[in-house]
Structure 1
Amino acid sequence: TVQVKDSNASTATKALSLTVYSALSITTSSLPTGTVSTAYSQTLAATGGLTPYTWSVASGSLPAGLTLSSAGVISGTPTTAGTSSFTVQVQDANAGIANKVLSLTIYAPLAVSTSSLPGGDVSSAYSQTLAATGGLPSYTWSVSSGSLPAGLTLASSTGVISGTPTKTGTSTFTVQVKDANASTATKSLSITVYSALSISTSSLSSGTVSTAYSQTLAATGGLTPYTWSIASGSLPAGLALSSGGVISGTPTTGGTYSFTVQVADANSMKSTKQLSLTITYAITASAGANGSISPSGTVTVSSGGSQAFTIKANTGYHVSNVLVDGASVGAVTTYTFSNVTGNHTISVTFSNTYSLTVTKAGTGGGTVTSSPSGISCGATCSAAFTSGTSVTLTGSANSNSFFAGWSGGGCSGTGTCKITMSANNAVTATFTQYITVTAPSSGVSWARGTTQTITWTYAGSPGSSVKIQLLQGGAVNSTIIPSTSIGSSGAGSYSWTIPSTLAAGSTYQISVTSTSNSNYTGISNGDFTLD
């Protein structure tokens, strides 16, 4: 009872009562998650204070699409995924207030994101992981209708379809995914199982060096298109395998090459096969008119192998020449290529004439002529004569040389050479220069003011003494000595002290001339230098 007294001491009393409530507090500690486009409703709770309560959002904001009623119900249909943090406030009938920070996560709608599954091959391991988006992980997978291909299973915890298919065909089924909020989503899918992928090419045709090659590999089973590659080993040099399965190019090296090819189908299934490819070499054989070569045409030979050829002339003719790779091997009637490591050619010509060839030798110069005419060597040192012709060769020396004799073709001595043409013949005519300067030789350098030795050889009868001169640019520069001994036993020498007054130069030569016959002259074989 309370009493009130005024200034006149008058009093009044009244009986009252006072109720004290427990402290107002929000007891909701967390909120369940929601999903975009799925209705959401959650009632907030509080204790203490005097009911009824009035709820509001004190700060922050609820996820888009949700509202908080004054009665404490968060409801609506979320429109955006994400986590929203906010402060809720409750006020009781006595105007007491309590706040709490809460958060609410909205997930994207649960969906199976795998749109299709690759096919598989019978007897080849298969593994494919299903995928989902949205919802609250973790996911649980199952087949809700239909069935997987025989040999395959779906792992509920990982979404992996795996196993080894045992039958061909297309299986259609529906997979279901469930998230931690028990939301579910389904998707109809199918898997086609193909017959086992295999390479059907069992062997490859051989190729030839320098000849274009093309061979297409073949496979069966699996899902086209196929992609081809070399799994191990290597193709012959010059060849390549395209992704379309064509081995092509131009081989450059012979031999047998082993390698493994691989084919992958559109489902990434793979198959391999070991193959070998032999590259041979080609020998092209040809014969001119009036004879033959056997075998003829293009003959293939394995690397390291051998091939023999037989050559035969028609009646009244003989083998004139055999060219192997463009070089003459003579008038042979058989030829064998051994240890073949490259392409070759062999060609044969036939004739009813024989060739006579003259070669000039020695230090001197001269000409050889024939009767009947044909050889004038000099200019023409080889000629053809009809079989049975008697040919006479005559050698004539130049003025500073003498004819030393014949060799070859059955000829000798210094007279004429007579040959009856029954085979190809070669004759050498030797001309010897009377005097030959041997030092200085071409390219030598001698220093002015030094003493150097001039040397020469001689043959025949050039006399007993010689004159030595210095030439420059082909003209006489000076006479070194007008007369000195020619020497003995075919050789002579002279010690020359080179005047320091001579001009340096690189076009000098030495001439040595018989004092009894000026035609008998020898000159250095090239320019030398005075420095």
Structure 2
Amino acid sequence: MYIENNIISGCIDGVYVDEHTGGTVYIQKNIISGNTGAGIELGPNADGSRVEVKWNNIIDNGYGIDHEGSNEVEASLNFWGNPHGPSHDGINYGDTVDGSIDFQPWLVAESAGEEITRELDIAAPMLGDGYVGLEYLAELPMQPNVGSILEWSLYSGSLPDGVEILSGITLYGTPTAAGSFSFALEASNGTQAVYRNFSLNVATEYTGSGPAVVTRSPVPYETGVAVDAPIVIVFKEPVQLSDNYQGYINITNPEDYYEIVYKVARVQTTVINNDTLVIDPTYNLRPATTYEVAISAGIVTDSEGNSFAGSWRFTTGDQVIPLAITTAELPPAAEGQAYSAQLAAAGGVGSYTWSLVDGSLPDGLSLSSSGQISGTPLSAGNWGFTVQVADQSGATATRQLSIIVSPAPDTTPPTVVEKAPGNGATGVPVNVAITVEFDELVQAGENLNGVTVAPPGGTPIA
């Protein structure tokens, strides 16, 4: 028997079923509203296993379904006048269901009569223990068996103080009190919804093995994060980079899995402790982009070798820091000597590409695309030029710079041009002044005592 495509309103009981025989009663695609008793009343002799209620709008009745008979009634995929489903067992939302009734999943908005056949079904994950004063992070299932990504919300009960649902995806926070907490969470894909029961134990003392997190920044699923913000994790105990650390931690854009940034992570040691890990991206991140930070097992450990591993996402804000060249001047160079200087920039998006756009570098020097000026200058002088930096978005910035190249040091000894008296001269007056003229300016050296006047083979007289 089919009871379908009706508007049933203004009755005591909209639909009454009792002592039926001969097959299943299908109550579907109806608008059942405004009935003072029950929208659907199943009498004491009704067999719930032979009643199916689907795709109805059951709204503003005394009861949605009142089942006084035996066996469970299949009553999924109905709208109960509230996106959180019907009222039951002391939980107050839409029309009330009473008796053995399976109403999950329900529709979150009024049914248009579409025969939805794939029902949302998702298992509740087991939640790990939390600890007072330490960060709690538990990812909830995101991809259901049907439909779009799930969004989770609190259905009934209370979360531990300090813990909340972030972005409909993650349980996150810092528990402030110990205890055992029971609650139900609702998962919706925008069309259907279900609830699942959870329990979470919060202990006073940490009993885990790996380094426990006290705080992290940005927090999971935080939005509006500055593109130049460092990523910081504070642990409960001192941590260190393991011996097999490869020099980078992934910061990726999970939408296209394109690796944007690699950067050496460092443990920030203060005068108090060394429990803080700072990840500072080499380049600014892209604005309005979601990133995932992934720290693999074995990178960060405590003194006993216990490892921390984890990943989380955040989204940068719309603000772009203007691209600018921060190198104000370059060190001087010397003719014939190796030279190296690195240009620096700030702001913009992603990595930088450098080029020379005006003037010229000293002969023998070149500029790489990474901003390194290197080579060996071939001639002295003051060389002016303009460099340009471009970021991954195509933005550019320029700056005029110069390099002064000093002459190569003179390593050739002075040459005598003229001397008086000359070599082999005779009849020289005894009071004559002895002079030596060189081809360049000279000065007294450190060993001035090495200049002597003496007869050949005789004793110096000056």
Which is higher, the Rg of structure 1 or of structure 2? 1
Calculate the TM-score normalised by the size of structure 1.
Answer: 0.26
Calculate the TM-score normalised by the size of structure 2.
Answer: 0.30
